[in-house]
Amino acid sequence: MGEIKSAWELAMERTAGIESDKSSLRMSELKKAGGRIASAYMDGEKPEPKKLTKEFKNYSGKELETVRKASVEILLS
């Protein structure tokens, strides 16, 4: 008779060769941050453009571009 394995053991066997991609994880986090920034802007009683600028100062380079793009997508939707 065969060995009975738990769901955890089966999942670990199936994912043994999978490695996480830190850059794609970071991009996902930045997109979520951009969405949060845009949502917070829209939730205000009187939206202030300076509030967006202040939030964007926390990022630079490629990260800033990603956050801005995610924010614009939310604002345009």
Q: Which domain holds residue 28?
A: 21-76
pLDDT tens, position by position, 22-57 = 888 899 999 999 999 998 888 877 777 787 888 899
In a domain, 11, yes or no: no
In a domain, 68, yes or no: yes
In a domain, 9, yes or no: no
pLDDT tens, position by position, 12-27 = 888 887 777 788 889 9
In a domain, 60, yes or no: yes
Is the pTM higher than 0.95? no
In a domain, 51, yes or no: yes
Does residue 15 or residue 64 have the better pLDDT?
64
What domain count does the chain have? 1
Rounded to 5 degrees, φ, ψ at 20 are -80, 150
In a domain, 7, yes or no: no
Report the alpha-carbon distance of residue 52 to residue 68 in Å, rounded: 9
In a domain, 31, yes or no: yes
